[in-house]
């Protein structure tokens, strides 16, 4: 979740609680002013730590965006320097405020340590955050719908989505759980990835594609019944703002092709692969041409181009594809897939 979005929601909720007599017009002005100038309203230490995290994160993303056209050697050198500087900055923020969860999370993700060590650090952070939320955040309940007790929401006059979006510690915990699900998927811990992704999927007011992790994990586990049962669950669920219909999801379309291939249902797998290539911009290209994707810091960034989500889905599935013998070679040999890849590359300058 964009730190500017949840910082603004947090500051707005606190400001309105301290000024309950504002008119609707005044509330609208406050909403716009906080979004434009959050530093004006970040007066207490925790808000200032969140502001420092947001500014550091935005600088990191902006500098990464300027490096795409660098030669490989220079790119690697400058990226390593940038990540080192950012890790130190995030660690300093976390030292000042241990409740700035995302600063702790990004410092872990940027550390140059083996994947298992990163997972161990993430597990410790997740446990610490979950304990804090359970004890100190009023209304937070792991067993409640979307993690919020209905009575506490009624008392505040908020719904679960609004409460989540305005509670940075909850967003940081969800980011941590989502990072765990991604790293578990990448390290072939498919059942753990499924479990963590399911926790993220249960939240409201927190934009994510945890359903994509779940679909890929179920495909890799060859759980056909579980896969299509979850698809039906998604189809029956109302779409939140920004959500994709299942039939438009590159994670679903790619995972379905992988699942059917692994089940040796080759004709159905070919049809599924054609659907993926036809419905997802760049689907064939990214599948046949593994392409670098900026690390999730801390989770999947919002899409900018029409093919960003497709790229993310294939990136998420990279380990599964590598672990599925001959899938990539088979896909390249399916009629029309190679031509689709070449056409996308030529049209978009890849």
- Output the average pLDDT for the chain: 96
pLDDT at 210: 97
Inform me whether the pLDDT recorded for 72 exceeds 80: yes
pLDDT in tens, 237-258: 988 777 889 999 999 999 999 9
Span 75-103, mean pLDDT? Answer: 96
Angle at 107 between CA 89 and CA 79, to 5 degrees: 75
Span 48-76, mean pLDDT? Answer: 94
pLDDT in tens, 29-44: 999 999 999 999 999 9
Angle at 16 between CA 12 and CA 18, to 5 degrees: 120
**How far is the C-alpha of 285 from the C-alpha of 311, rounded, in Å?**
9
pLDDT at 244: 86
pLDDT at 240: 78
Span 264-292, mean pLDDT? Answer: 97
H-helix segments, the chain: 3-18, 24-36, 38-41, 45-65, 72-96, 101-110, 115-136, 150-156, 160-165, 168-186, 190-201, 210-220, 224-236, 250-262, 266-279, 283-288, 308-316, 318-322, 327-333, 337-348
Q: How confident is the model at residue 69 (pLDDT cuts 50, 70, 90)?
A: confident
Span 96-116, mean pLDDT? Answer: 96
Q: Is 148 helix (H, G, I), strand (E, B) or coil?
A: strand
pLDDT in tens, 215-224: 999 999 999 9
pLDDT in tens, 185-199: 999 999 999 999 999
pLDDT in tens, 109-135: 999 999 999 999 999 999 999 999 999
Span 97-120, mean pLDDT? Answer: 97
Residue of 58, 112, 116, 123 lying closest to 87 (CA atoms): 112
Structure token pair of residue 241: 């703002």
Q: How confident is the model at residue 234 (pLDDT cuts 50, 70, 90)?
A: very high
Global pTM? 0.96
Residue of 55, 118, 123, 127 lying closest to 92 (CA atoms): 55
């Amino acid at each position: 979740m964009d730190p500017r979005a949840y910082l603004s929601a947090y500051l707005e909720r606190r400001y309105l609680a301290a000024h309950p007599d504002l008119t609707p017009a005044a509330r609208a002005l406050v909403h716009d002013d906080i979004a434009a100038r959050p530093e004006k309203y970040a007066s207490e230490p925790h808000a200032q730590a969140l502001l420092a995290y947001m500014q550091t994160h935005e600088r990191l993303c902006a500098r990464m965006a300027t490096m795409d056209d660098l030669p490989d050697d220079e790119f690697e050198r400058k990226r390593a320097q940038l990540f080192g500087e950012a890790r130190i900055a995030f660690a300093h923020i976390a030292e000042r405020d241990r409740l700035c969860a995302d600063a702790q999370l990004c410092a872990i993700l940027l550390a140059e340590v083996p994947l298992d060590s990163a997972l161990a650090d993430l597990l410790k952070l997740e446990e610490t955050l979950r304990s804090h939320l359970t004890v100190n955040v009023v209304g937070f309940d792991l067993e409640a719908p979307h993690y919020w007790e209905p009575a506490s929401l009624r008392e505040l006059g908020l719904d679960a989505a609004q409460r989540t979006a305005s509670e940075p510690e909850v967003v940081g915990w969800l980011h941590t759980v989502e990072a765990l699900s991604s790293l578990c998927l990448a390290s072939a811990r498919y059942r753990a990835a499924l479990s963590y992704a399911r926790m993220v999927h249960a939240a409201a007011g927190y934009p994510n594609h945890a359903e994509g992790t779940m679909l890929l994990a179920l495909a890799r586990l060859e759980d056909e019944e579980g896969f299509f049962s979850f698809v039906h669950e998604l189809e029956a669920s109302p779409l939140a703002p920004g959500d994709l219909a299942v039939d438009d999801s590159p994670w679903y379309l790619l995972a379905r092709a992988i699942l059917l291939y692994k089940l040796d249902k080759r004709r159905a797998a070919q049809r599924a692969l054609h659907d993926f290539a036809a419905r997802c911009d760049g689907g064939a290209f990214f599948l046949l041409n593994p392409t670098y994707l900026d690390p999730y810091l801390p989770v999947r960034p919002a899409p900018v181009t029409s093919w960003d989500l497709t790229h993310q889905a294939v990136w998420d599935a990279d380990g599964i594809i590598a672990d599925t013998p001959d899938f990539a070679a088979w896909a390249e040999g399916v009629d029309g897939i190679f031509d689709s890849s070449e056409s996308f590359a030529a049209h978009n300058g890849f």
